Structure 1
């Protein structure tokens, strides 16, 4: 819960109580944080309370404004900011967060999601109700990858695969995976094979130039196109064509060019290179170009309530019905454990990049911020403000340099 959101709810709580003249008459309040596919079940996550009531309240889910399931009590611990907005102390242990599993959903059709909070003070639709929704395309990334035989991941650097690992790790092993980088770092060269063995995956390292993380991605891509031309490939489109023809993937994953998960110029440039290369591809070895997916989670570094650092992966546009958010806490295999445990394990394979403190920072991440999210290329818009300007609605994100 960010500071601006917290302050607005705190003011609302106090104002409601002043108007009511008695604490228990205040209207309920709360927020839908995300809709995530968790253990193959669509789950609504958020929080609700009736300010100063001092107890859990009931929440009810709706799809297209029709009630589904039965009301449940808020049932998950809440952080300090939520307790403050609800007029209680965190030491009270009152559970204001909730998880509602939509067990009855067998098909996806873009249904809108609403959650009502029901308390002695009345019934209120939580903030973001009917803004969230289930994906409108039943061919979600998990279903596409489950049906695939060959999966290609194209990234900028050795260690970028870590950002994809909580999701991709469940498929590599039973599928044939290949991970390709645009650059090659001699320091990471000895660590890279260890990571590839943990997926497991075939691999290929490029030799394109390194650039400042804060460079404009268009400048990086222009340099790479010139380097490709000097090698006889004309431009990056032909490099992507070569990778497709050599591997014959059923599905391709890469960074979202709008933000690259961390605003890194080379993350964004490689995502755009893949997008353009797939669009220009005229061969027969990737017949369904819609099976290109962009990673839409953003890396966030911050501090927990007790001051411990943490590293998180947060869906940048959680209310987008055309993106799918996956829980990284899901168990993915006996050898790898949960998706987040797999991510931590991969971080440990790169001691040149991640200190013990960095690994511990990832271990401190709360459940809500352990996600992997993807968007299909057919839903991609380079100017979608939910992705390009996410910093405006959530200060956890930073503004990326312009293209």
Structure 2
């Protein structure tokens, strides 16, 4: 059995790296990965850099991936706990040290940046992620536990500082109406990505308690308060689903008098005008394009203000009437945002002094904050990964805090799985309604 397992492990390394498993100098893998997770690592397109750090295999070669380090470290630690082979600890340390060497000193914290040159994110600028920072915090805590190496405790103290740096200063901490949030993807408008928020928060709580870090404890408490207040906004009972995040992009069609400027006002977050797409990229930027008899606006809206609506403010060439339409809220289980296939009228604006505005009611933009989708390829089918993550992380957060609202929604959302077979939108032969348990 051991021989078969070793052969399988060797096959995994060879498959993932494209190199012979026994040629470690070429492969770069310190030790074989768990063969039972071969499909997961293949999905990640995991490869190896010369110093033993994992990355994603791309057309440009292997690109270092900030979050792959913790994934591999945890895999090696689990293999050590199973086999008691000390080589797995050394392999985990090699990956950890290679990752730490790539981290940057930022305002006294250690951060692992996502570089736009790597093509790993839809965000155009350099940033670090609260989720990735938390994953490092978790994996290095585990590595210290099995290795006894104090340097990982010292590194974690600096990683923990990264959660306290505001997004306005290049960090991940953002004020929201009910407290604070640590952002998986820092952005001008907080995206409030639930799986990242939950996972990072649970790890931060565990770290704060184990190290008796008072700053981390206060930060976690403010996040718990905000999440408890905002959690009902993530519920989509009509689809027996939960929202992936509260902020998303949507298409708005403007026809009539020509628009020269547009601003989205989000209560609690301020006003956001047209952006510089060359600097910020098209996906998460407000911008206008001409479409003959109409104009199309790429708009970033946030359900975080609900029930208060977002507002669109327009400026026109001259006074006149502008008809405002928004992409219809139709859910596609294999998409992650609303497609601009059909339109719903929001209303008309009569500009005066070349200016006017209108509220965007949530009954016409209900799915802008899009529910979790069935996008993770598992064999021939696509599965919904994130709803299950929401359930599991809420269960853990309830255990960590005792706050009953987390138990309430964990129980409610777990019950949603039983109803998926009855939801018309989910009856698609391309998707699987089985729980994803990889």
TM exceeding 0.5: no
Higher relative helix content: 2
Quick one: higher RCO (CA 8 Å, sep 6+), 1 or 2? 1
State the structure with more CA Rg: 2
Normalising by structure 1, what TM-score? 0.32
